Amino acid sequence: MKPYEHGGNIYDYQGNLIDFSSNINPLGPPEWIWEAIKEVDLSRYPDIKYRRLKEAIAEYVGCDRENIIVGNGAAELIHLFVRAFKLKKPLIPSPSFLEYERAVKLNGGEPVYLKLEEEEGFKVNFAKVLSKIEEADSLILGNPNNPTGQGIIREEIGILLKKAELMNIPVLIDEAFIEFMKDYKKYEALPLVKKHDKLFVVRAVTKFFGMPGIRLGYGIGSPSLIQKLEEYKEPWTVNAFAEAVGRWLFKDREYIEKTREYVNAEIEYMLFSLRTIDYLVAFDTKVNFILLKLKAGTVDEVKEKLLKKGILIRDASNFRYLDKRFFRVAVKRREDNMCLIEALRGLYEEGVMPDKERVVV
């Protein structure tokens, strides 16, 4: 199997780039993390049970330490879940994060896909999921979903979980981006963990806390589910730096609230500005990235021209059901966002994109 491409791969390009392909907190990590890193003792193994780290996470999400597992980013935990439950036919509403599909195929399975319709704004059709799940042995759901930026409310998740319980199948909900949502409490599935033994909620430090280099993810589930996952998990996959930072990170409430406020203001600015560009369709989003569609031309043309201006975007054509008209951009700091908007508008003047009289949807 060929490796799946992801955003953030700046290493294939030369020069200093503004990376809009990677959906990371534009404020960057909190300043105090460097002090935490300095205190790391590299002559010792991390605690193999990650007790202090799990206690910090448990306090943050409001559960017990026995409900927590940690991993080398959310991606490790997604693969672990698929492997531990030997999933062969999970239902995956798509387009969605490519590692869901990859994890299943690496374990000899073939997902059941539910196409998210462009006409419905790529929102998850709750009734269709409820019907399609009959064909599956599990459910994997991005909430909010990547690359579409849409979510499903907790009440609907609860109904899906009751259906899954009747079928006796596990459910993974990937909440890697949920903390960016202004009204995230309407969507988060954490309160449902106590009621459903086979629900696994995955989150990541990577995105919201602006530290993809740390590689720290965590999952929340019933004690029995967590124990099952631990039996399949490799030891020491979280290094000493990630453990040290994680023990303090979730206590920084000021940083958390500042991020949410800043990003949501920039989402509004970005959507308004992008929708003034005639050759683009900008889809609604609830998080720190926006899915865009070209009314004419291909993303290859746009990407090449933007690279010359020092801007990297995410070609979204390798997401299932999307094609060369689609790309995704992150929501970054205002000055960077202005650079992107100006560059996209400039493609008219350079003749890369047709003027609005020639655009055909």
Rounded CA separation 115/128 (Å): 10
User: Of 3, 7, 14, 18, nearest to 344 (Cα)?
Assistant: 18
pLDDT for 260-309, tens place per residue?
999 999 999 999 999 999 999 999 999 999 999 999 899 999 999 999 99
User: Of 238, 177, 171, 230, nearest to 201 (Cα)?
Assistant: 171
Domains of the chain (ranges, CATH numbers): 10-27+263-349 (3.90.1150.10), 33-251 (3.40.640.10)
Contact present, 263 and 180 (Cβ < 8 Å)? yes
Is residue 204 classed as helix, strand or coil in its secondary structure?
strand
pLDDT for 58-73, tens place per residue?
999 999 999 999 999 9
What percent of the chain is modeled with pLDDT above 70? 93
For the record, the structure tokens of 28 come out as 């960057």
pLDDT at residue 9, as a whole number: 56
CB-count burial class (<10 Å; 0-12, 13-18, 19+) for 275: exposed
pLDDT at residue 36, as a whole number: 87
Rounded CA separation 109/89 (Å): 6
User: Buried b / exposed e across 232-251, counting CB within 10 Å, b at 16+?
Assistant: ebeeebbebbbbbbbbebbe
pLDDT for 239-252, tens place per residue?
999 999 999 999 89
**Per-residue pLDDT band at 361 (split at 50, 70, 90):** very low
Give this prediction's pTM.
0.92
